[in-house]
Structure 1
Amino acid sequence: MKINQIIRQRRRDLSLTQEQVAAYLGVSTPAVNKWEKGSTYPDITLLPALARLLRTDLNTLLSFQEDLSDVEIETFVDHLDQMVQEQGYQAAFQAAWGKVQEYPTCEALLYSAALYLEGALSLYPVQQPEEYQTTLETWYQRLARSDTQEIRDTAVGMLISYARNRGEFSKAEELIQTLPDSPIDKEEQLAILYQRQGKYEQAQGIWEHRILHGVTEIQTALMNKLEWALLRKRPQEAEALADLYETVTSLFCFPGWMRYNARLQIALDAQDGDACFAILSQMLPAMKEIWDPQAHPLYASADDAGGSTFLSSRLADTFCFELSTHEEYAFLRDRADFNALMETLGHRS
């Protein structure tokens, strides 16, 4: 990151205006504006005071420590994943925190580390995840001021999720309104262009991604509509939505265990222990089964099955952890058949 980017980022992180920086240093506001644009640079005699104001050091301010390359960041994230599996989430989180402190101006590192750690919270059993989410939220707040739209929009999306989960609905709506509207679908335009150019592999990859993404959006919408039906006490509508969810999931050849999601939601809402056990006894073992997306022509260019199988397996372990600890599943833990099922999967409730 160049000195102008560092000045701009640190100023924003500290919620300082250009006018405040100018007043502190005894220069004009246009001068600070030019520093941040990179058209001019601060006088060398101002650098110590500028570093103190921005709460950084001269090495960082002058970029003596280069940012990590994309390859180095990818390697580090792979290392984090290995740490989570071997040493636990906390060790990986501390390693990420240390690396971010070592490279405080490397936005790409912060972005990659935050998204990995966020995903790992869902994939691995983690005690008191809210402790880590507090730090992740501060990272997203910083990334939400990025000059890179993809980073900024993703960070805002995560902040919306955090606010929504806390019941801060006004804040969530305010953040949603900051997201940009675009009538042009960049991905679709690229796919059409590649196809016209005869770049069929690239085009196929985009169309397959579109199918996966589109079906996932439909599944999410159906599950949310099902939740609405349950809240409104419309059981017949909920059952119809569950049927549709199963059909979509099977028709588009998603992993077998996914088709049980909607039925399980209905059974949990009704606190129907027999129905929950019947579903879980099929769903949990199915999560351990190999899923090969390439076996279906819709996903012929998809990554190999190993990653998908690993992902499902990790989700199974996390789900079993939740079944054994979360209050919403407490009514199941008095059942002998449920406890026997958990033991066969290597978990005790």
Structure 2
Amino acid sequence: MEQTVGRTVQRLRKAKGMTQGQLAGRLGISSAAVSKWETGGALPDVALLCPLARALGCTANDLLNFRPELTAEEIDTLCTAARRRFEEGEREQAAALCEERLRQYPTDLTLAFRVGFLYARYGGREEGLLERAAGLFRSATALPDEEQRRSAWQMLARLYAEQGKYEPAMEALGHLPSCNQEGMSLRAAVLRQMGRLAQAEQLERGTLAAQSKALRATLLSLAETLRRQARREEARRMQDKADAVQALFGPIAPPACCPEAPRENGGV
């Protein structure tokens, strides 16, 4: 930090054509104090930050090199270094490296998202790291990117399920769209673990019905496209496959214990 601030002060002072003594005179301090800043021996007093910024024609954020978030390249570099340490068995050092960045950038949701994946992957049975990963993914559910939000909810649900926290897992899964196949599979697995077998079966039957219907519709559409290109043999094969899907699955009925037919979108 001292080196970064000092280099910034020196660069801006020289750009203004000021000597250390002239800058010191404007601030009512000694030139030795300015020299210490620029050589990394000390930091400006908090009370001097704004006057110093005005003297140098910048903002206090410029002086401190303040940024609310890391760049994508910086996050990649951090994750690569931490991953290497995890893989070399240096778990504490890897986590310390990540936590230091998380402390410096507590509102960087992309950083939380990426570190969450590292902890989930390398946490093993270490409850502390898995709990931390869950917290990071919970924060990452506020990311502006829809795909990242979904991934954060899905990972959060998976972590809860692996720890036997089934109700929170189901709550997290409720934030996923009904067409999310991996989310549907995880939801069925959680229902089985909770002993709610009838609901798991209903969900799986509904998912299978929707997927087989979509597959058959796609095959029929492709067959029609091929026919219009006079590629009759290929079109016939697609039609046969569509018929095979229909013959293989047919109407998929809900279990007798479930009075309502499953919704085609796979909802529970």
- What TM-score, normalized to structure 2? 0.40
| Structure of greater Rg | 2
Report the TM-score, using the length of structure 1 for normalisation.
0.32
